[in-house]
Amino acid sequence: MSFNHIVVQNILRDKSTYISYFLSSIFSILVFFLFSITAFHPMLAKMDTTSTLGVTMLLASFFIYVFSIVFIIYSLFAFLKKKTKTLGTFMMMGASMKQIRKMFFRENMIIAGAAIITAIVCGLVIAPLYLMVAKKILRAEIFGMYVPIQAILITIVLFTLLFLIVTKFMTYMIKKEEIVHLLKADITQEKLIKLEPFKLILFIIVSVFLLFSMIKEMNWVESFGTLSYIALFISLLLAIYFTVTQGMLLAIRVWQKQPSYFRKTNMLFVSNLKARGRSHAHIIYLLTVLLLGTFVCTSVLYSSYYNVEEKTEMLYPYSFQYTSFPGNELEAQKDITFIEATLDKAGNYEAYYSAFKTDDKRRIAFMSVTNFNQLGQHKPITLKNNEYFVAAGHEGVDPNKESIHDYPFGNLEFTGIEKRNILTSGLQNVYYIVPDEVYETIEYPDYKIFAYELDGWTNKAHVANTILSKITTEPDIRLMTSKIELYETEKFVKSIMFFIGFMLSLIFMSAALSILYFYLQTSLEREREKFSGIRKIGFSMKELSSVVTKELTTLIFIPFTIAVFILFATLLGMHNYISLAFYQLTAIGLGIFLLLFIISFFFIRKGYINKLVN
């Protein structure tokens, strides 16, 4: 029998050990391959890689690959731990460490090769449906199927290198002493959780301090730049870790002092929880972090996708706004005739004509109360001869109320403010609304405004294309803006962001379930022997099922609860920056995840109990 035949037969005889590692590898490769199909789509070939969108796509690809590295390494460690007895058996039969390493390397490369091929084949089968969904999300009609040669090649090259490097590194970590230790692992009691309250308090204080510093935009944060955010991320991870471990230790100690500890199967459950507290705490921590990542990706990115229309209207109040500079009267008349003729064919619309005068050097504009009231996106106002009103020029920037006193308009009194943009954001820094008599005395040149609000504007991209293809912005002559064009651009960018968030949340969610699966599988044989012994001393199947149910509930729903608590604590801390719709969408998303977890819990519980008793 050749060495390669032994390797193949070893894989075939122990399929249950290899299948979980094989499937997790397929999943990691498949997600990366599908994302690569999107990233290298011909439609995105002209995308500027230095733009926010381009950088986001590159970072997302990099993040998914890095996550694949971490996930495959974790899977490989779980796989190695589960192969303890097999490696020990070969060693006792006289196999040298060189042969064991060679066998382990070849087994992994066979699985890796099969996983890469299977993932790419599955990806090509799924790709048409996947791109159909992507086309719907990205609102891109030309986002169709193509032959993803580049995606196939980069997936093969990157993951072949990944498996070669990781597997080679892992083979050198296998030593004779470690195999003996692993072979005895089933009878080795794991270390108990240490009491470390000072570390918990320290990292909570550090995290709160860093977070407070960033919210208040302290000078030192700007000085350290990215390092301050990295420090916050690390401190938060450590704070969560010690919260989980110390919380579990505290819960065990408190429960042991309660009268309920001696009721039914609680003593057995708590004792088992204490014996495996360290490993349970690590799994709960990992699941908490992954679920928190899932929730953040889905809630934040979907909320940004959801509010595009509202944010667009804040920047550009009108479907179309034509600003005619002084001296452009004849050309402006031709442009307006074309715009209105096009809009007449498009449906119902409202037209608004106004004007303002501006100090070009300071970009401070003045508008008569009559011209202000002719614009239709705000309530009309009335002014006395000695009053003025202020309107915003930039979205999100409070207008200066006092600069008008730098001009010789007499002693005018402030009467009110409009913080929303009355015209395109950034056209002017501020607009001072003054009585008509005062406006007539201002000697700055007139800028004419022609604004149009089209019914159902979100579905009128073709109208914007028709108008903007003929009339474009020309410096010092005219300014042409359209919230329809901005909406379509922002919608596309946000759609891709949402798509990336969806892919990342899928990875986090699946990784959480996979890690839980590996954890249960690696401890299955030891738990089976333990529960077999417990049944011999008189515990019924119903009582053992109760213990298993409580343990699985702890592993599945405690991380979910912690992640939800952290998410809402963060959102409440940012309530001044978050709308009610954000909370509603987050609650709906969490409700869906909770339903999925409840369904998964019953399936996992049934399968795990069946394997324990069979």
d(CA 24, CA 46): 34
Q: Are 421 and 395 in contact (CB under 8 A)?
A: yes
Confidence tier at 322 by pLDDT (50, 70, 90): very high
Tens digits of per-residue pLDDT, 470-515?
Answer: 888 888 888 999 998 888 888 777 777 777 777 777 777 777 877 7
pLDDT at 540 over 80: no
Tens digits of per-residue pLDDT, 333-382?
Answer: 899 999 999 998 888 889 999 999 998 888 899 999 999 999 877 788 88
d(CA 585, CA 591): 10
d(CA 595, CA 598): 5
Report helix, strand or coil for 268: helix
Q: Identify the DSSP state of 398.
A: P
Q: What is the pLDDT of residue 143?
A: 60
Tens digits of per-residue pLDDT, 284-312?
Answer: 888 898 888 888 777 766 666 667 777 88
Q: How many residues does the chain have?
A: 614
- Which DSSP string corresponds to 166-228? HHHHHHHH--HHHHHHHHTGGGSPPPPPP--HHHHHHHHHHHHHHHHHHHTT-HHHHHHTHHH
Confidence tier at 592 by pLDDT (50, 70, 90): confident
Confidence tier at 15 by pLDDT (50, 70, 90): low
- CB environment 541-566: b (16+ within 10 A), e (fewer): eeebbbbbbbbbebbbebbbebbbeb
d(CA 519, CA 37): 32
Confidence tier at 434 by pLDDT (50, 70, 90): very high
d(CA 308, CA 305): 6
Confidence tier at 412 by pLDDT (50, 70, 90): confident
What are the backbone angles phi and psi of residue 200, rounded to the nearest 5°? -60, -50
Report helix, strand or coil for 480: strand
Q: What is the pLDDT of residue 219?
A: 66
Of 302 and 250, the one with more pLDDT: 250
Q: What is the pLDDT of residue 88?
A: 61
Give bridge partners of residue 450 from the DSSP assignment: 322, 353
Residue percentage of the chain with pLDDT more than 70: 80
Q: Which of 32-41, 330-339, 512-521 has the highest average model confidence (pLDDT)? A: 330-339
Of 361 and 224, the one with more pLDDT: 361
Q: Are 280 and 550 in contact (CB under 8 A)?
A: no
Tell me the Ramachandran region of residue 384: left when phi exceeds 0, alpha when psi lies from -120 to 50, beta otherwise: beta
Of 198 and 530, the one with more pLDDT: 198
d(CA 449, CA 212): 45
d(CA 81, CA 522): 7
Q: Is the pTM of this model over 0.75?
A: no
Report helix, strand or coil for 378: coil
Q: What is the pLDDT of residue 81?
A: 66
Q: Are 482 and 319 in contact (CB under 8 A)?
A: yes
Confidence tier at 50 by pLDDT (50, 70, 90): low
> What H or E segment, with its residue span, contains residue 324?
strand 320-324
Q: What is the pLDDT of residue 342?
A: 92
Q: Are 182 and 87 in contact (CB under 8 A)?
A: yes
Residue 255, both tokens: 């429960």
- Residue 189: burial class (beta carbons within 10 Å; 0-12, 13-18, 19+): exposed
Of 121 and 587, the one with more pLDDT: 121
d(CA 129, CA 412): 65
Confidence tier at 320 by pLDDT (50, 70, 90): very high
How far, CA to CA in Å, does 234 sit from each of 228, 245, 291, 296, 515?
Answer: 10, 17, 17, 17, 21
Residue 65, both tokens: 């690959």
Mean pLDDT of the residues in the chain: 79
Confidence tier at 4 by pLDDT (50, 70, 90): low
Tens digits of per-residue pLDDT, 98-150?
Answer: 777 777 777 778 888 888 999 899 888 888 877 777 666 665 555 666 778 88
Q: Identify the DSSP state of 425.
A: T
Tens digits of per-residue pLDDT, 383-406?
Answer: 888 899 999 888 878 888 888 888
d(CA 544, CA 613): 10
Tens digits of per-residue pLDDT, 145-199?
Answer: 677 888 889 889 988 888 888 877 777 666 554 555 555 544 455 667 788 888 8
